[in-house]
A and B are shown apart, each in its own frame.
Chain A
Amino acid sequence: MKSYKEVLGKIMAPVMTGKQALFAAVVTEHGQYMAGLKSELFYNDADVHVEVCCLIAEYYGLIASTSWDYYNFEAEAMGQRVKYAAAGLPDIDQTDPLIKSEADLDKIKWPGNPLKSGRVPVYVRSLELMEKYTGMPTTLWLAACSPFSIACGICSYAGLMGFIKHKPELAHEILRRIVDDITVPYLKAIAEKYPGIMVKFADAWEMVPNVSPKIQQEYAFQYYDRVIEAAKDINVDVSWYCAYSEKNFPDPAAYLADKLKYAREIMITGTETDVVPVSVYRDVAIEKSVPLTVNVPADRIFDGPPEAIVEFVRQLAKESRPGVAQYSMAALVPYSAPPEHVAAVVAAGKAFCALPVPEDFDAIKVEIPELKESFGDFVRRKHKENPDGYTFKWLDKAKFYGE
């Protein structure tokens, strides 16, 4: 039996030899679902998290990646209550914010070294384990939470909106302290450990219409500027900010172009293509010569059926690929997606990412592979020979899908 490192070599070969644009799928949550592991374990133990991520990636023939609730790390380390449900990503308790008033401002601080606080060490170890099991340099980039989303995490969204409306000076003070005492020290500690690393900001809250463009400018973007100014030597990429915002602007193309002040690529995040045509994103990417990443939205993968997923990806590729020099596609696989839907999106993604760019996307036939064994059987087979040297310390706690 081959190790995942060897299997990955084959998966990567078409990408490395210029026969396929990069196709990836975010299957972390789905991996947890398929393995039936509790969140408390899955999101607190790097060995468990990474091994399941690698196994689920190998099961579907994917490049492995990890995906954490990055946006909770800083808040949780400060003492914000985070709830661990039986399943799924840990979630900040918005009903019990850490910062309720001015009196709580001094709580905005790391308890010690950022890299040794809260779950940050678990996350850092997961990057190192990924490197070990995949052989790929995975400490090239790391995710951090944007200052605005940290503020929503520790004040609650409604609380922060109340401060912005009725106590703007307090809102600014909270954001200043987050940048100066939380984000910048975190970035500096990361950059010291991994010189040259790129930091990507995860941001769930600052998009329009969650906030008005005015709030976005004054309370989110202004503090990105403050981070960039304070951490000049660190690569900061804000590609993830204000996802889904485009549809709320009268001139989405101009908004996208403006976004490139912070971001290094354009990302089509999901279902907003119902409102803003794919061609708008594509044309800005071509005009500005920046990479374009196109995501297959979670709801399409969840809804299926497999044939509809293939046709959706075909259409997406047909509209988004022509003329784009640096192109990649990703599938946002939801937690409880049926495995046959995942197999379909993987097959379609790889087929429609072929290089050179196909002249006729309609002529491409996609064969959806049959999943010959269950995930549970696959894991047990891997466990028997264990060519990767996984710990499998979680196996007795797993409750595999379909069993």
Chain B
Amino acid sequence: MLEQLGQAVIDGDVSLAKERTQAGLADGVDPVKLVNEALIPAMNKVAELWNEGEYFLSDVILCANAFSGSMDLITPVLSASDSKNNGKIMIGVVEGDMHDLGKNIVVAMLRANGFEVIDLGVDVPQKVFIEKVREEKPDILGIGAYMSTTMVQLKQNIDALESEGLRDGLKIIVGGVCVTEKAAKDAGADGWGRDALYTVDLAKKLLGV
């Protein structure tokens, strides 16, 4: 059963992954087992296939969606102590930018690596970043911008967090297709999320896990 669920994720079959997750939960399979022995190994396999050039972005996004679909069913039945927690990460795409592709993959990879992820979605106004950071107190804030026109908001958001007194103790990672390492540094971020896998390693490094 666990193998079949993992395979559904590797195949990027969202409905089958959800169906198998529901069946597992209905059969009384430990939700922790579903995550640790099916979903996480499946996403690790997806990462491996991507690194080997076997999988393309079109495959990875479907796998990430299948993973997230299953996690959405499992998360409500997991108790806080059940899940491994490497830290709390909040992530969102800046206002006016509707690109959720890269962000969704990052979210899935972070969850697969034991992070609690609060996904603010796309088109997130500056005031929402501020309110949510104040409310949720994440360890890391990830801000995405996928167009050169919206990239300028990375610095504006970070500056706003600073002036609201929310920057201390908060690590910030920025990323997106047009964001360079220098742009990340100029924006005042603590790290540059070059791609989804690199972002996972960076998050671990920043939090010392």
Asked if A95 and B98 sit within 8 Å, CB to CB, the answer is yes
A299 on interface, CB distance cutoff 8 Å: yes
- Chain A hits for B59, CB < 8 A: 212
State the CA gap A381–B178 with chains docked (Å): 35
Sorting the interface of chain B by its residue count into under 10, 10 to 19, 20 to 34 or 35 or more gives: 20 to 34
Contact (Cβ within 8 A) A336 B152? yes
The answer to whether the Cβ of B141 comes within 8 Å of any Cβ in the partner chain is: no
Query: Is A83 among interface residues, defined by CB-CB distance under 8 A?
Result: yes
Q: Report whether B178 and A85 are in contact in the complex, using a CB–CB cutoff of 8 Å.
A: no
Most chain B beta carbons < 10 A, residue from A88, A92, A303: A88
Q: How far is the CA of A32 from the CA of B150 in the complex (A)?
A: 13
> At the interface, yes or no: B99 with Cβ under 8 Å from chain A?
yes
Distance, CA A165 to CA B149, complexed state (A): 33
Cα–Cα, bound, A335→B146 (Å): 12
Task: State the Cβ distance, B121 to closest chain A Cβ, in Å.
Answer: 8
Within 8 A of A (CB), among B83-111: 95-101, 104
State how many angstroms separate the Cβ of A341 from the closest Cβ of chain B.
Answer: 12
Q: How many A-B residue pairs have CB under 8 A?
A: 103
Within the complex, the shortest CB–CB distance from B67 to chain A, in Å, comes to 13
Q: Residue-by-residue, is A9-41 near B (CB-CB < 8 Å gives 1, otherwise 0)?
A: 000000000000000000001001100000100
Residue in contact with A88 in the complex, picked from B62, B101, B122, B150, CB distance below 8 Å: B150
- Check A94–B148 contact: CB distance below 8 A: no
A210 touches B56 (CB 8 A): yes
B61 within 8 A of A: yes
Question: A85-B95, A91-B96 are contacts. A334–B178 as well, Cβ < 8 Å?
Answer: yes
- In the complex, A253 has a CB within 8 A of chain B: no
Q: Taking CB as reference atom, which chain B residue is nearest A208?
A: B56
Contact with B along A190-219 (1 / 0, CB 8 A): 000000000000000000111110010000
Closest-CB distance, B101 to chain A (whole angstroms): 6
Does B65 sit within 8 A of A, measured CB to CB?
Answer: yes
Chain A contact residues, CB within 8 Å of chain B: 29, 32-33, 39, 83-89, 91-95, 157-158, 161-162, 164-166, 208-212, 215, 248, 298-299, 302-303, 334-336
Apart from A29-B148, A85-B96, A212-B56, what are 4 other A-B pairs with CB-CB below 8 Å? A32-B149, A86-B96, A87-B96, A94-B100
B interface residues, Cβ below 8 angstroms from A: 12-14, 53, 56-59, 61-62, 65, 95-101, 104, 121-123, 147-152, 178, 180, 182-183
